[in-house]
Amino acid sequence: MWFIFACLGYFLLALVFILDKLILTKSVSKPVVYTFYSTIFLFGALLAWPFGVELLNDFDWIVAIFSGVTFGLAMWALFIGLKTGETSHISPFNGALVTIFTYLIADYFLGEKLTSVQLIGLAILVFSSLLLSFEKSQKHNGFHVGFLWAGLSGLLFAFSHVSAKYLYDIYPFLTAFVWTRSSIGLVGLFTLLFPSVRHSFKKTKNKKESDKNKKSVVLVVMDKILAVIAIILIQYSASIGSVAPVMALSGLQFVFMFIMVYLSTKFLPILFKEYFTKREITVEVLAIFFVLVGSMLFVI
């Protein structure tokens, strides 16, 4: 059951990552501004309070806040990476490091162990994600600074996932989910220190720019709704399964993402377009095959 929830969550997350790149390119140019709008509304998770959310014990408050803040900072670092490079490359690289770091941290702090078959599957998924990270574009040829931001994001995401899993093991899912997700909003409060974030609140008298801003708001809201649904599915999957295999299945997200980006580039370039070479397509198709093989090893 956790596998089905994870697959659906990663499909939605693939769509979210494409929308993130689209928004950062055409609507919200500054990653810190987009981070604000991506995190501040997660305080809304507190609305679930009347539905049985419990208070945490003393130390667990620190864990919940740590999980939320590291998740928010991971999003910020990833947005910087996406602004610099192409989403079909930056995101897989980020996912590979999330998988590696999550397994290492979960093994050390939670004592989670994988079977020999699952370890092989994990290795294949990491290898395939790194293959998907090969970037040959009009701006870049190989590794660039965007991958460093994606790597930092991967480490922060891993800490967030493992600390959240710690809470899922001792509290009902809704309780752990609400406190870890609402804590992400603290990052949104922090970004208010940046003038560019505060400037985004100002209304413009230019009708054309005003209409553009309204369309941007609609796109951001739709993106965040999909992101929340995806996060719920993935976090719930981690709560009923082991966190490392769930994070390892992020490779499926990149399969979905590559297919959507390629089809859009081929048939709807006006909507979303990325640069592809024949060699790049060959490498990514090969990587997709490894992703499917690696994913199947977790359900054998």
Task: Please give the pLDDT value at position 141.
Answer: 62
CB half-sphere exposure, 27, CA atoms < 13 A: 21
Q: Please state whether 280 falls in left (phi above 0), alpha (psi between -120 and 50) or beta.
A: alpha
Residue 130 neighbours by CB under 8 Å, 6+ apart: 92, 93, 96
3-state secondary structure of 201: coil
Write out the two tokens for 143.
Answer: 């590794």
d(CA 108, CA 211): 51
Instruction: Please give the C-alpha separations between residue 284 and each of 59, 135, 209, 262, 279, in angstroms, as whole numbers.
Output: 44, 10, 38, 11, 9
Tens digits of residue pLDDT in 62-97: 999 999 999 999 999 999 998 888 777 788 888 888
Instruction: Please give the C-alpha separations between residue 269 and each of 56, 266, 275, 299, in angstroms, as whole numbers.
Output: 49, 6, 10, 37
Please report, for the chain, the start and end positions of each structural domain, with discontinuous segments joined by +.
Answer: 2-296
Mean pLDDT for all residues in the chain: 85
Cβ atoms within 10 A of the Cβ of 250, count? 27
How confident is residue 185, by pLDDT bands cut at 50, 70 and 90?
A: very high
Q: Do the Cβ atoms of 87 and 15 come closer than 8 Å? A: no
Instruction: Please give the C-alpha separations between residue 150 and each of 143, 285, 294, in angstroms, as whole numbers.
Output: 11, 22, 22
First to last CA, the chain: 13
Task: Please give the pLDDT value at position 140.
Answer: 58
Residue 73 neighbours by CB under 8 Å, 6+ apart: 156, 187
Q: What share of the chain is helix, strand, coil (3-state, %, to 5)?
A: 80, 0, 20
Tens digits of residue pLDDT in 95-146: 888 888 888 898 888 888 878 888 898 888 888 878 777 766 666 566 678 8
Whether 228 has a pLDDT exceeding 70, the answer reads yes
d(CA 197, CA 256): 32
d(CA 253, CA 155): 18
Is the torsion defined by CA of 275, 277, 144, 128 positive or negative? positive
Q: Which amino acid is residue 122, in one-letter code?
A: L
d(CA 262, CA 277): 11
Q: Please state whether 132 falls in left (phi above 0), alpha (psi between -120 and 50) or beta.
A: alpha
d(CA 228, CA 80): 21
How confident is residue 269, by pLDDT bands cut at 50, 70 and 90?
A: confident
d(CA 140, CA 134): 10
Write out the two tokens for 102.
Answer: 């999550």
Task: Please give the pLDDT value at position 45.
Answer: 93
Give me the mean pLDDT over the 285-299 stretch.
Answer: 78
How confident is residue 28, by pLDDT bands cut at 50, 70 and 90?
A: confident
Task: Please give the pLDDT value at position 139.
Answer: 67
Cβ atoms within 10 A of the Cβ of 86, count? 20
